[in-house]
Amino acid sequence: MPLVTPLQSDHDSEVAELAKFFNETLGFCPNSVLTMQRRPAIARAFINLNKAVMDNQGRVTSEQKRLIGYLTSANTGCRYCEAHTILAAHRYGGSDERLANIWDFRTSDLYSAAEKAAFEFALAASSVPNAVSEEIQQLMQQHWDDGEIVEILGVIALFGYLNRWNDSMGTQLEPGAVDAGESFLNHRGWEVGKHV
């Protein structure tokens, strides 16, 4: 049971309008947003930040951003966000093979050198304590421009917020997210955990 029960999706008309964004990315409004709307200003600010971070201004694709979010969330242990990001990566064109082999990115031909740099950065930046080294910084600068690095770190930081929110809140996973977790992540031992 979540710490705070989500409100109905039509509780706040402005939040409901902004939350239509999630119909494209996930196919539903996340329970995390429905909980945030107990303080509508938080929900509105979060949705606007999410939209800004996920807007593609450079070469970082929607699928890549969701894979970065997945690695960030898996690294911190947030089962809720793992399911959401793998679902969204699939919706944005991630093949079953790429999704199933994401943890083999270092040695796999399924990922470009630029993606591998971004994935290493995601794991280092989401670690506590932070593990971004000069070597990782140089690797990022070899493959991404400054604006793209800002986009990538924006994704990592956004999911840092969401990982803390959803694991602390015990946010209940939606059926579509559960299905994605079971389809794409069970081979890695994924389970719903506290997000029942």
Q: Show Cβ contacts of residue 21 under 8 Å, excluding neighbours closer than 6 positions.
A: 47, 50, 51
Specify the pLDDT at position 1.
87
Specify the pLDDT at position 189.
94
- Structure tokens, 61: 């694709």
Amino acid at 73: S
**Cβ atoms of 121 and 140 closer than 8 Å:** yes
Kindly list the domain boundaries of the chain, sorted by start residue: 61-191
User: Cα(18)–Cα(16) distance, rounded to whole angstroms?
Assistant: 6
CATH superfamily entry for domain 61-191: AhpD-like (1.20.1290.10)
User: Cα(91)–Cα(40) distance, rounded to whole angstroms?
Assistant: 28
> Can you give the pLDDT of all 196 residues of the chain as single tens digits?
899 999 999 999 999 999 999 999 999 999 999 999 999 999 999 999 999 999 999 999 999 999 999 999 999 999 999 999 999 999 999 999 999 999 999 999 999 999 999 999 999 999 999 999 999 999 999 999 999 999 999 999 999 999 999 999 999 999 999 999 999 999 999 999 999 9
- pTM of the entire predicted model: 0.97
Angle CA 32–91–95, to nearest 5? 130
**Selection from 161, 163, 156, 157 nearest residue 193 by Cα:** 163
Specify the pLDDT at position 173.
98
